[in-house]
A and B are shown apart, each in its own frame.
Chain A
Amino acid sequence: MSRSRPFISIGVLVLAASAVAWGQSPPAAPAADAGSPGQKLYARHCLSCHQADGYGVPNMQPAIKGGTWVRGEAKPLALFVMTGGFDSAQRKEGATAHNVMPPFRQLSDEDLAGILTYIRQKFGDGASEVTPALVAEARATLPAQ
């Protein structure tokens, strides 16, 4: 069982302060140069979870590449990205993913349109462009915040 004497003594603190300096960090490579505004926004908001190749991370975040959502109708896709969550009614991919999708309603119509167009073209078999007007139309159906 645990020891009764206090964990932190001055000696331990000194040792710990020096020991943590050994936590070497690997060198960081420069961030990948992104192309289109949509690609840059994907890198900024989506990439760390869904990854650059759109395949997500097994067990953690679902693949969007090749999924029915990303290449399906644009309006439900826009609604899902704005609301997030595990349990969007028709959502199938990612049912076993550990992490919850956060909502991205805070992004502008233009930014969301850029992201959605990028992922549809890159990961959704070249599905159609999404306009800011369509995002605005979808947004208008959401309950007020």
Chain B
Amino acid sequence: MHINLTTRNLCVETPDRDFYGKYMGGKGMGGYYLRQCAALSFDHPDMVVCLFTGPLVATIAPTSGRAHLVSKSPLTGLVGDASLGGRLPTQLKRAGWDGMVITGKSPYPIGIEIADHQVNFSRADHLWGMDTQQVHEHLAPGKAGLASIGPAAENGVRFASVTVDLHHAAGRSGLGLCFAAKHLKYLMVKGQGHTRVKDANGLKAAREEIFRLTAASPALMGQYGFSRLGTGAVYDLIDSRRMMPTDNFKSTWFKHAPRLNAAAYSKAYAPEKYGCRGCHILCKRIARPKGLHPMALPEYETMSHFTALIGSRDIKWVVAANDRCRRYGMDTITAAATLACRREITGKNFTRQSLLSLLDDMALNRGEGKELNKGALAYARSMGHPESAMAVKAMELPAYDPRGAYGMALGYALSTRGGCHLRAYPISHEIFRKPVATDRFSFSGKARIIKIAEDFNAVVDSLTACKFIFFAAGLEEYAKAYTAVTGEKSSAQDLISIGERIYYNERIINSLNGFDARDDDLPRRFFNEPGTCGNQIQVAPIDRGQFLTAREKYYRIRGLDSSGNPLEEKANALGLEWKRL
């Protein structure tokens, strides 16, 4: 579905089978449409905001209730994208849409309401200024899926997020600001149809295989796995491996961590399990504090960055900051990392009051918040200390210190959306030991591992499934599900090949915006300063020579030139249009 918010024109495109085979759905299709306007600024009326489901959505394929949101990132200028869950993706698919491409700019705040094939535009002047909780209460979506922005996006926060179904978010890249640039306050979808499945028994067999593998996964379903404790289960593990970013990445171990872990949240809040539609892992935790609305407890990244990274020692601060970010519609990782940068530069520690006030200032674009809400890099530059921004390509790093996992170091540097752990997700093998363990303090073999994993995860985000399930299952099982749903013969390797095309397309988009090897790098701190040793673990600075050698290898393996730029021959081989716009 193509919607132009300037003209209110709506048209339906029915792509051919080749298009589906080439780009799959989700991230792949979003990237295809972004490519058509790659060099435009994020707030240009012709810039697209794409929301695509994948072929498995609204089927019984496990963890497939997801979609991918894609546009140009206001924070980085790179491809901006995020996977999102909740019930919205399932509703969109059940309404009969594989995805939507939104262009134009409404002259006033607007909401898009979809009920099956009926699409309505509703004025949203009265909702502008409301936070995402208020929007949800006002619209009372019931079983419909609802994505909305909050005041952060309206006030130009570069890392504004889109809140989905109250407890979920398209968090990173500042996609909320892309909504705001179009005056799009919300999107609400209700569908009553079903995804047609070509081979129901085949899908059921694939699902059983995936369930069996999930049950065998300690990280997902084990005694201390995500299903029991939420993603916060990772907190103790990362601290024990001496790779918890602490004091703005000045050290890698936080001595207060044992009191701030998932067990502490469980004890304090007795949360309930919760998850996305179609998921049996249920990795979210919902607390019901007396007198307050039910609220999602912080995910691992938020737990870590709002404690160790900024030097706070109270889980109540974390819960309050997390809830405030959710209501405002702000990415918690970037918010916390920017505050950590401020703490390092100014030397001022936070109190609960100052922490929450600064979050208010960021979201409402006032006082010091006017600089902080542009992200850590812009803030650090404005303060004359760019070296204090722990970011890659202007996106702040998440809660895994790269000195403790060299695949992660390479993955951060090369990620097409900036400092992101999810593109290659190397903690799977460097920490979780899946599919097998690799030496986390070595670059040996990592260049190809990262490349394959990027392709792998690109197709996962196009299917669209949750990355967590791949701590247990593989594309072998998901290819079986894909074939059962679509009737298209496929294999794990066929899917990875599609992922390679999708990822290379992102590399081309970034190249069109001037990004190259100069940007595929890490902050100097990681090459010059050690992490915190202990527990028989030495955390040395990363050897820059080895890092650069691994990066060179990656460029060769990925089919890029020595400056990290795409090659016409490779683009042609992948069936991609060369750079011309």
A and B associate: no
